[in-house]
Structure 1
C-alpha cells in the first residue's frame, strides 16, 4: 500500500512539472492543467461578469489560480511521498513526539517547509533517499517561483503588442481611408506593417496561448473588435491597380489566414472560414466586454 501512495505522489509531481514545461518552455496544443484552469475560469466569467472592470480580472485571476494549483499539487504530491515513511524515517526535535506527528497533515507541513525553502529542521528526514529527495523539492519550489516570474514577464509584453496592433487598426478605421488612398505606395507600406503586426500576434498566441484569456479593455485596444476591419481592407486590395498594393494585400491575407488557423485550432474550434473564425473571436471577447 505504501508504494502505491508513493507512486501517486510522484505522478502528481511529474504531472505538474510536465504542465509547467509545456506551458512556459514548449507550448503545445495538447491541453493540460493550466489550459483547463484558464479556459474554465474564462467560460465561468461570461455569465458572471457584466461590467468591463470585473471582466478584466478573468485573465489575471486565472494566472494566479494556475500557479496556486501548480504549487498545491506539488505540495500534496511530495507529502504523499513522505507520509508512508513517517515517523520511522524522520528525526524530530525535542518536544515533538513522533507518534503524535506522523499524520498526513504533518507530511503536508514538511512538504510546505521544503518547497518554501524555510528549512526549519523540527522534522527532518534521516533515511538516505529521503535526505536527497527533500532538497529536490526545494529546487522544484524555486523553479516554480522562477517560472511564475518568467511567465508574467512574458505574457504582458505579448498583450501590449496585441493591443498596440488593435489601437493602430482603430486609428486607421477612424480615418476612413478611401480605396484610392490605399492604392498607393503609402497604402502598400501600411499593409506591410499590418501584415507584420498580425504575424507577431500569431506567434504570441502560439507562445503565450494564455494571453487569449485576457480581456483587452477599451474597444480601441481590442483586436477582436477590429480584426474584421483589417480583413475587409485586405480584400479590397485584390482589385488594386498598384502592383505593390496587390502584393502587400496578398501577404496580409495570408497572415490573417494563419492567425485564424491558430485561433481556431487552439481556442474556438469552429472549423470555419477565416471570417467565421474572426466573428467567433469577436463574439467570445465581445461577451466579456459587456457588448
Structure 2
C-alpha cells in the first residue's frame, strides 16, 4: 500500500501551504497552525506572571517556531512521497548501497536537501514524475524562504506604528491637555490624528495578527497601557461646544470601537464592552490601563 504515505505526504504539504497562505497573504479569522503556535508561545511565556514575561522574546521565538514547523512539515510531507519509491526510482552515488539507504530517514534527507536547494546529488530521483516533483519542492522551499522574509518585514513595521502611537499618547499625557485647549480647532485636529492612527493599528492587528504577541517592555511605548488616555479624550470631547471637536470625537469613538472589536474577536474573546476589552488587553500584556 505505497499510496498511503504518498497521500499522507500530499495532505500534509497542502495543509502547510494553506497555513502559509492564510498567515501571510490572506489573513482570515480562521485559527491556523501559525496562530496556535504564536498563542501557545505567548501563554507559555506568561507562566511566571505577565509582568515577568521576557521582553520581546515571545513574539520572535513564536515566529521562529512557526517557520521551523512549516519547513519541517513540508520536508516530512515530501519525504513521505519519496519513501515508497526508494531505492528503485532513485540513483545513488558511487559508494552508496541502495538497499541500505532506502529508509524513512534517507527519504527525509533527500527531501531536506531538495527543499533547501542544496542539490548534493548523492541520491537523486530517476523516475519521470519524481524528476518533475523534486524541482517543484525546491521552488516551494524558495517560496517559503521568500514568504518568511516578507512576513518579518511586514510585522516589524506594524510594531513600530503601534509603539509610535503609544509614545504619542504618552506625550499627550505629559502635556496635560486642558478642556479649553481640547475644545478648539487644534483639539479637533489632535482627535482626527488619533483616530487615523488607531485605524492603522486596527488594520495591523487584522493583517499581522502575530504582532499582538509581541510584548512592549517600556510603558511609554505600550499601547495596552496608553489606550486609557484615548478613551478619556473621547469622553471629554463628546461634551465639547465646538462642533468640529464633537464630530472628531464621534470618529474617534468609532475607531476605538473597531479596535476593541478586533482585539476581542481575534485574541481576547471577552464579549464585553470596549472599555472592558481594553482592560483585558492591558492585563494580558501585564499592564494596568493608565487613567485618562
TM-score by shorter chain over 0.5:
yes
Aligned counterparts of 1:268 and 1:51: Cα–Cα separation in 2:
18
Aligned residue for 2:65? 65
Unaligned runs of 5+ in 2: none
Distance 1:269 1:125, change over 3 A: same
Q: Could you tell me the TM-score, scaled by structure 2's length?
A: 0.96
- 1:197 equivalenced with 2:197 (yes/no): yes
Secondary structure at 2:47 match in 1: helix
Aligned counterparts of 1:269 and 1:164: Cα–Cα separation in 2:
26
Aligned residue for 2:34? 34
Structure showing greater relative contact order (alpha-carbon pairs closer than 8 Å, 6 or more residues apart)? 1
Aligned counterparts of 1:234 and 1:100: Cα–Cα separation in 2:
72
Asked whether the equivalents of residues 50 and 285 of structure 2 are also in contact (C-alpha less than 8 Å), the reply is no
Aligned residue for 1:112? 112
Q: Which moved more, 1:37-46 or 1:230-239?
A: 230-239
Q: Which moved more, 1:69-78 or 1:52-61?
A: 52-61
Aligned counterparts of 1:207 and 1:82: Cα–Cα separation in 2:
36
Asked whether the equivalents of residues 224 and 281 of structure 2 are also in contact (C-alpha less than 8 Å), the reply is yes
Runs of at least 4 residues off by over 4 Å: 49-53
Distance 1:150 1:230, change over 3 A: same
Aligned counterparts of 2:143 and 2:235: Cα–Cα separation in 1:
48
Asked whether the equivalents of residues 12 and 74 of structure 1 are also in contact (C-alpha less than 8 Å), the reply is yes
- 1:83 equivalenced with 2:83 (yes/no): yes
Superimposed CA distance per residue, residues 207-251 of structure 1 (whole angstroms, 9 cap, x where no aligned partner)? 100000001221000000011220111011111000000000000
Aligned residue for 2:271? 271
Aligned counterparts of 1:279 and 1:53: Cα–Cα separation in 2:
18
Aligned counterparts of 2:262 and 2:54: Cα–Cα separation in 1:
27
Aligned residue for 1:211? 211
Residue pairs, 1:228-247, within 5 angstroms: 228-247=228-247
TM superposition shift of 1:50: 6.7
Q: Could you tell me the TM-score, scaled by structure 1's length?
A: 0.96
TM superposition shift of 1:55: 3.3
- 1:130 equivalenced with 2:130 (yes/no): yes
Distance 1:45 1:19, change over 3 A: same
Aligned counterparts of 1:166 and 1:178: Cα–Cα separation in 2:
20
- 1:167 equivalenced with 2:167 (yes/no): yes
Residue pairs, 1:245-284, within 5 angstroms: 245-284=245-284
Asked whether the equivalents of residues 46 and 287 of structure 1 are also in contact (C-alpha less than 8 Å), the reply is no
Aligned residue for 2:11? 11
TM superposition shift of 1:262: 0.5
Asked whether the equivalents of residues 51 and 286 of structure 2 are also in contact (C-alpha less than 8 Å), the reply is no
Asked whether the equivalents of residues 184 and 245 of structure 2 are also in contact (C-alpha less than 8 Å), the reply is yes
| Residue-pair matches, total | 288
Asked whether the equivalents of residues 87 and 102 of structure 2 are also in contact (C-alpha less than 8 Å), the reply is yes
Secondary structure at 1:249 match in 2: helix
Secondary structure at 2:238 match in 1: helix
Aligned counterparts of 2:287 and 2:37: Cα–Cα separation in 1:
19
The alignment yields a C-alpha RMSD, in angstroms, of 1.3
Asked whether the equivalents of residues 183 and 241 of structure 1 are also in contact (C-alpha less than 8 Å), the reply is yes
Secondary structure at 1:234 match in 2: helix
- 1:141 equivalenced with 2:141 (yes/no): yes
Superimposed CA distance per residue, residues 32-75 of structure 1 (whole angstroms, 9 cap, x where no aligned partner)? 11001000000111124676682321100001000000000001
Aligned counterparts of 1:149 and 1:181: Cα–Cα separation in 2:
45
